[in-house]
Amino acid sequence: MSFTYDQTQKLFTIETKNSSYLMQVDKYRILHHIYYGRKIKSDGYENLIFFYDRSCAGNPDEVYPDRTISLNTIPQEFTTFGVGDFRVHSIEVTNPDGSFGADFRYAGYKSFEGAAELPGLPHAYDNGGEAETLIITLKDKVTPLTVDLVFVIYAEKDMITRHVVYRNEGKGTLKLGRAFSLCLDLPYGKWDLLHFHGKHAKERQPERRPLSHAIETLESGRGTSSHQENPFFILCDHAANEDYGEAYGFMLIYSGGFKAEIEVDQFDSTRVVMGIQDDLFSWNLEEGGEFHTPEVILSYSKDGLTRLSHNYHDFIHENVIRGRYKTERKPVLINNWEGTYFDFDDQKIVEIAEEAAKLGVEMMVLDDGWFGERNSDNAGLGDWFVNEKKLKGGLKPMIDRIKALGLKFGIWIEPEMVNEDSDLYRKHPDWAFAMPGRKPTRCRNQLVLDMGREDVRAYLYECLSNMLRENPIDYIKWDMNRSLSDLYSRVLPADRQGETAHRYVLGLYDLMDKLTSEFPDVLFEGCSGGGGRFDAGIMYYSPQIWLSDDTDAIQRLQIQYGSSFGYPVSTMGAHVSASPNHQTGRHCPIHTRAVVAMSGTFGYELDPRKLSENDKAMIRSQIETFKKYYDVIQRGDYYRLTEFGKTYYEAWQYAAKDASEALLNLVVTNPEPNQTPLNIRLKGLDPDAIYELEYDAREYLKSLDDLEINEFSVDSGKKEAAPKRYSGSMLMYGGFTFGWIAGDYPALQMHFVKVG
Ligand code: GLA
């Protein structure tokens, strides 16, 4: 049992391996939030609640004449609305008579083995015997709105998911103006906020600062989870670092606009609320109707940020990602986008595939430009039919030639969009969002299809499922290249227009669900102008997402670092691209580009016909290296060894869960003369074991070929002098010291194997 209910004290205790979560129903049936944090025994929990007549705090009617009970000061499990709690709230509801207000009281609970279902939305799932669901029901006396607070407890994994089901149990329609998934009160403690902001081609940049008394809002109002702010953040104590301190994670499984508000109130209590972004949201909840919110994945770590990240990485691997590629190794791919952009035909693609096959690449991915009149990004979206001027005879003959080389084949689509210059738009201009009387905003010269419409989805399903049925396609890159604006659906009445953005997301999930269920062997990769929809919602359908349109390895270090706080490397689409890099113009050795891309799904995005023989040889060995290290990279524990940007190098590491091997990665971003010693302490090893270093510096030295550097100055001759065997405790507590490492962005990978 991961939770208990003590009838006498009316106390709910949720227990995970390392955390406790307590709630209590008081004599007025107000559901108090008592505690969430490090595991405790609940005896004496009463001391955590502070009742006091705090000046001018409002008191609910039934507590009269007691002035110590105020909804504005009690830590609560869910918020009220309009009745005297002035902190940030999770619900806004309007009654049929126009009054608005919600004041919930405990009405009962139920529980069952397994995870609650969440119709129409991606959600975490139970692999069998792992999860237990607790549903606490709250009701309002006046507004006929019932709220089910759904907790799914994955005790062994230290994860709790939360969502809410709102039910209209009265007469008439209730209008929800805000219907969040979570309220969490942390009455004590002072916290730092660590969140992940960004922009196109620079996603998930970590930013950390202490919370103040100004309300923090993290949100995307773009209809997608966005480049600008990720629906994942952390609260941690001021002293917390990778290995020490308390940290709470909050991750919304949702790919549309979202909002989190964090308030430190007048009494220094912290409240977090999170859910679907509400500025452009409302929902008509009809009699008997239910509204299911997306899930928030909560986790708590008493041992710092790394532990918290591992909790999320393992959970996403095991309880969010599904399908064949949850466990199977994904093919090393080559994508033609940066190699050709729109300038290709079938012959060129086959030539790229031929060259790539010789290098050991396993899949050819044809990116944008193969359909309709798509010769630039101004036309063609919506016309999911082969452009036979480019691909003579259609897709099939080209795919057959590629398959004959022993490669798998993948293809790019952007189904949610339409160009005005397309047959689809000429036929169905009303399928795109546009407000009455206004010309819609273009972005990349494209408009957004109303995915909430069944006819739109039926068209897309027909085109895409036929394509998958008629062609041996192994992989789909599902792109989405603009934010949502001009939200107006022609199939919704005036008073339901506020539902448009969420219905779009539900429609997207519906289509993804149909296609991924019908074609379970196809590997889907999400994408949105790079990493503009990099979230756990998309991961439920596609186990990997293109991380960023910035393929510059040195910039990628930071994007991968920021993304790693919440997401495992197996989800991060990462490719080696050409040098100089197309986004930054930077030159970077191909070895370094590969070391960085290996901390992701790994593939190439260049024209292999233009490579030097040296680069081709490097690629052959890179692919072998990646396959060799695949398990430890994709399934091991990931450690951030440097705080990004704080020194002249970046280091990160993987350790097998049984500590049998480790892979240390290092990129020197700004080499120093007269170098400060570069000493790195490894993590996740067995301190009592002996490890042998399998270290091959040849790749690095080859990448220095153009530099006139004496190769023995690299690594200070350590190759001869240093022992090859190290104790785990030496590597973890003493560290491994590197010699002088020179050149432009040199990178090293060092593989330690347990030998005794
Ligand atoms: C987006 C993607 C790129 C590429 C282009 C094609 O920008 O992120 O990888 O597919 O679209 O138009």
Q: Name all contacts of 37-42 with Cβ < 8 Å and 24+ positions apart.
A: 37/246, 37/300, 37/302, 38/246, 38/300, 38/302, 39/15, 42/6, 42/11, 42/13
Q: What is the pLDDT of residues 590-604, one digit of tens each?
A: 999 999 999 999 999
**Which positions ≥6 away from 398 have C-beta within 8 Å?**
346, 349, 350, 391
Kindly state if the Cβ of 527 falls inside 6 Å of ligand 1: yes
> What confidence tier does 329 reach under pLDDT thresholds 50, 70, 90?
very high
- Mean pLDDT computed over 59-84: 95
> What confidence tier does 720 reach under pLDDT thresholds 50, 70, 90?
very low
Q: Is the pLDDT of residue 3 over 60?
A: yes
> For this structure, is 486 an active site residue?
no
Opening angle at CA 287, ends 284 and 290, nearest 5: 65
Structural domain boundaries in the chain: 3-319, 324-467+530-636, 649-754
What pLDDT score does 697 carry? 66
Measure 294 CA to ligand 1 centroid, in angstroms.
28
Catalytic residue among 85, 474, 479, 744: 479
Distance of CA 622 to the CA centre of its chain: 27
What pLDDT score does 55 carry? 83
| CA gap 664, 653 in Å, rounded | 4
Length of the chain: 756
Kindly state if the Cβ of 478 falls inside 6 Å of ligand 1: no
Q: Is the pLDDT of residue 73 over 50?
A: yes
Kindly state if the Cβ of 550 falls inside 6 Å of ligand 1: no
Sign of the C-alpha dihedral computed for residues 221, 226, 227 and 233 taken in this order: positive
- Mean pLDDT computed over 448-467: 98
What pLDDT score does 721 carry? 42
Among 412, 414, 477, say which to mutate for ligand 1: greatest number of ligand atoms within 8 Å of CB. 412
Measure 313 CA to ligand 1 centroid, in angstroms.
26
Measure 150 CA to ligand 1 centroid, in angstroms.
38
537 touches 234 (CB < 8 A) = no
Kindly state if the Cβ of 338 falls inside 6 Å of ligand 1: no
What pLDDT score does 141 carry? 92
H-assigned helices in 323-453: 337-340, 346-359, 395-404, 423-427
Q: What is the pLDDT of residues 93-130, one digit of tens each?
A: 999 999 989 999 999 999 999 999 999 999 999 999 99
412 touches 381 (CB < 8 A) = no
| CA gap 290, 491 in Å, rounded | 21
CATH superfamily, region 3-319: alpha-galactosidase from lactobacil brevis (2.70.98.60)
- What pairs with residue 197 in β-bridges? 205, 229
What pLDDT score does 708 carry? 45
- What pairs with residue 92 in β-bridges? 178
Sign of the C-alpha dihedral computed for residues 536, 4, 88 and 82 taken in this order: positive
Minimal-distance CA residue to ligand 1 atom 11: 529
Minimum-distance ligand 1 atom for the alpha carbon of 549: 8
Minimal-distance CA residue to ligand 1 atom 7: 529
Measure 479 CA to ligand 1 centroid, in angstroms.
7
What pLDDT score does 705 carry? 55
What pLDDT score does 717 carry? 38
What six digits make up the tokens of 21?
């979560």
3 touches 19 (CB < 8 A) = no
Q: What is the pLDDT of residues 532-545, one digit of tens each?
A: 999 999 999 999 99
What pLDDT score does 712 carry? 37
Whole-angstrom Cα Rg for the chain: 27
First to last CA, the chain: 39
Q: What is the pLDDT of residues 265-303, one digit of tens each?
A: 999 999 999 999 999 899 999 999 999 999 999 999 999
What is the DSSP-derived secondary structure letter of residue 442?
P
Kindly state if the Cβ of 549 falls inside 6 Å of ligand 1: yes
- What pairs with residue 24 in β-bridges? 11, 32
Cβ neighbours around 547 below 10 Å, total: 27
What pLDDT score does 56 carry? 87
Between 565 and 696, the more confident residue is 565
Kindly state if the Cβ of 529 falls inside 6 Å of ligand 1: yes
Q: Is the pLDDT of residue 699 over 70?
A: no
Q: What is the pLDDT of residues 653-691, one digit of tens each?
A: 999 999 999 999 999 999 888 888 899 999 999 999 999
**Which positions ≥6 away from 432 have C-beta within 8 Å?**
418, 425, 440, 447, 448, 449, 450
Instruction: Provide CATH code, domain 324-467+530-636.
Output: 3.20.20.70
| CA gap 641, 638 in Å, rounded | 9
| CA gap 105, 136 in Å, rounded | 10
- What pairs with residue 175 in β-bridges? 94, 284
Kindly state if the Cβ of 377 falls inside 6 Å of ligand 1: yes
Minimum-distance ligand 1 atom for the alpha carbon of 367: 10
Helix 553-563 × helix 590-597 angle, to 10°: 10
Kindly state if the Cβ of 534 falls inside 6 Å of ligand 1: no
Q: What is the pLDDT of residues 621-662, one digit of tens each?
A: 999 999 999 999 999 999 999 999 999 999 999 999 999 999
Where do the DSSP E strands lie in 527-660? 544-546, 572-573, 575-577, 603-605, 637-640, 649-655
Measure 701 CA to ligand 1 centroid, in angstroms.
34
What six digits make up the tokens of 423?
């047959």
Q: Is the pLDDT of residue 21 over 70?
A: yes
- Mean pLDDT computed over 202-210: 98
Kindly state if the Cβ of 474 falls inside 6 Å of ligand 1: no
Kindly state if the Cβ of 368 falls inside 6 Å of ligand 1: yes
The mean of the pLDDT values for the chain is 95
Instruction: Provide CATH code, domain 649-754.
Output: 2.60.40.1180
Among 199, 336, 337, say which to mutate for ligand 1: greatest number of ligand atoms within 8 Å of CB. 337
Minimum-distance ligand 1 atom for the alpha carbon of 530: 8
What pLDDT score does 696 carry? 64
Q: Is the pLDDT of residue 713 over 80?
A: no
Among 368, 546, 556, 605, say which to mutate for ligand 1: greatest number of ligand atoms within 8 Å of CB. 368
Measure 482 CA to ligand 1 centroid, in angstroms.
11
Kindly state if the Cβ of 384 falls inside 6 Å of ligand 1: no
What pLDDT score does 526 carry? 98
Catalytic residue among 158, 450, 474, 549: 549
Place of tokens 């959600």: 123
Minimal-distance CA residue to ligand 1 atom 12: 368
Measure 476 CA to ligand 1 centroid, in angstroms.
13
Kindly state if the Cβ of 546 falls inside 6 Å of ligand 1: yes
- Mean pLDDT computed over 569-576: 98
pTM, full prediction: 0.97
> For this structure, is 744 an active site residue?
no
